[in-house]
Copies of this chain bind each other. A is one copy, B any other.
Amino acid sequence: MFRLSCVTAAVLLCALVPAAAQTPASSGPVDPVAIEELVVANRILADRGIIDAYGHASMRHPGNPNRYLMARAIAPALVTAEDIMEFDLDSNPVDRRGRSLFVERFIHGEIYRVRPDVNGVVHTHSMGVIPFGISQVPLKPVIHTASYLHVGVPVWEIREAAGVTNMLVNNAALGKSLALTLGNKPVALMRGHGNVVVGPNVRFAVARAVFTDENARMQAVALAFGGPLNYISPEEGAKRDSEPSDPARAWDLWKAQALKKLPAN
């Protein structure tokens, strides 16, 4: 049922909304603090090995919920404020100026469209999670810093959405399909590809991308021991969900590390 409706949606989209490829209006200047936050998010994801050349981070436009901000097509380690662009939720750029765009930007637009609670989205190929995306062993929380995984981590199978593809989420229909698999959860794995991680702001999304990868690596070690594992329980996870802690301590550290601004000796 899911497969059918998804494909149908794509066809209708192409047929009825060619205007989506037109240039949307700008939402006006963005607070430089927000831009800086997104640049730092990119640098942190690179510095911590969560994103290498491919993958991207975005934030919902602070002044317009129907827009999001993301870099032009460039590796996160190289992103500066000048690279940040504005997109509408169809993932059309406001002011392209000939720049290359991430072909998978639809991941971001389609999630922002259906998840009003989400203001930050990260897509990674982080090496810890790939094995879980191709296995039948579910990714589950082994440490409280990743307790948000207690709700389950769905695996998006692009073959179910569109058959044989080049594996990329390079159109709106695929973005919608991934967003549907993600549902109301914080993380979805993408089979043979990576994951998508969301949060109420870009800091949360970044922290979850980091902790999800660490959790996956530690769970893989524990699985090799062979016996039953004592995961964070759904009740514990739910309690932590209701008592969210701001990831400022991690952010401040990771930012200082990524920007090479640790204290002098």
Task: Give residues in A with beta carbon < 8 Å to B.
Answer: 52-54, 73-75, 77-78, 80, 125, 127, 130-131, 133-137, 141-145, 147, 157, 159, 164-168, 191-194, 214, 217-225, 227-233, 235-236, 239-240, 243, 249-250, 252-254, 256-257, 259-263, 265
Contacts and interface: CB of A to CB of B under 8 A. Distances in A.
A125 B143 contact: yes
23 contacts: A53-B253, A54-B250, A74-B252, A75-B252, A125-B145, A127-B217, A130-B218, A131-B142, A131-B218, A133-B230, A134-B222, A135-B222, A135-B227, A136-B227, A143-B192, A157-B230, A165-B236, A167-B240, A192-B230, A192-B236, A220-B221, A259-B265, A260-B265
B230 A135 contact: yes
B131 A221 contact: yes
A241 to B, nearest CB: 9
B225 A135 contact: yes
A80 B166 contact: no
Most buried by B among A52, A127, A159, A235: A52
Contacts of A223: 224-225
Contacts of A263: 78, 80
A87 to B, nearest CB: 19
Given A144-B167, A259-B265, A253 B77 contact: yes
A214 B250 contact: no
A64 to B, nearest CB: 28
Contacts of A52: 250, 253
Given A78-B256, A78-B262, A143-B192, 14 more contacts: A75-B250, A80-B263, A130-B142, A130-B218, A131-B219, A134-B230, A136-B228, A144-B167, A164-B236, A166-B240, A166-B243, A167-B236, A192-B231, A220-B224
